[in-house]
Structures are given as structure tokens and as C-alpha cells.
Amino acid sequence: MDRLKATLTSLFLRKTTGVCVGALLACSALSHAQAGVSAEEIKKLGDTLTPYGAEKAGLKVNDVISIPDWTGGIQKKDWPADYKEPGQHHPNPYADDKPLFVVTADNMDEYAEFIPEGHKSLLKTYPDTFNIPVYQSRRSHSAP
């Protein structure tokens, strides 16, 4: 019985060791497959792209729906007065904002091209309690 136990243990260890070594090799090989960025793309950072690579230019869909240009995001001068120290939960800098409009089951057809199917279903299923308030768009992300 001891010999059978030793044989099974040895077999198990060999198989699991092989699997672990294979997984380790696969992971190390994958870590070297990194995306390269051309010098031309790097030159766009700070010019037409934000420091994190997003486009600085905004997008105007229509008179109501638009994404503003990125202008640097929230800077220290824009911090709410009740924000005192790093590590504190950030207060909402837009607490006084009011919705531009509210999408409901009654008016969702006006905005159908912008509403995902799941939200349309929620609006239809819960017309008295589910709605989508739409606020002014801001690009508040800042970078050092």
C-alpha cells in the first residue's frame, strides 16, 4: 500500500510540476509581447493628445449632446473649499449641477440612437421609477 501511495504521489508531483513550469514559461513569454508606440504617436502627447493618450478635441453631436475639449481637467485652484487634504474622499465639484434634461419612457424615442438597448428595456419596464438624467458633459480628469 505504501508503494502505491508513493507511486501516485510521485506521478502527481511530476504532472503538477510540468503544468506549473509550462504555465510559468507561457506567462514569461507573454510579458515580453508589449505594444510599441511610434515616435510620431509620442509627439502627439501634449499636442493633440492628453498626457494619457486621449484626444484633446471634443465632439459636437448636436445642439444638446456634445463632449467638450479637454483643457487640463480639475486643477488645484478648482478644488472645492471643503477638500482639505490628500487621502480625503473628494467632494463633488459639480454638486450644484441640474440635469439638462431627463430621458423617460415617454421621450426616449427622441434619444433612441444614444440609449443602449438595456437602458431602453429598463425605461419600458419601469416607466414610473427609472429615468436617465443627462448632465452637462465635462472632462474633469487632470494629469500632472
**Which pLDDT score, from 0 to 100, does residue 80 have?**
77
**Which pLDDT score, from 0 to 100, does residue 27 have?**
59
Which pTM was predicted? 0.60
Q: What is the average pLDDT across 85-107?
A: 89
Residues 49, 7: Cα–Cα separation, whole Å = 62
User: Could you read off the pLDDT of 39-82 as tens digits, one per residue?
Assistant: 888 778 778 888 888 888 888 877 767 888 888 888 888 777 77
42 three-state secondary structure: helix
**Helix H or strand E segment including 28:** helix 2-30
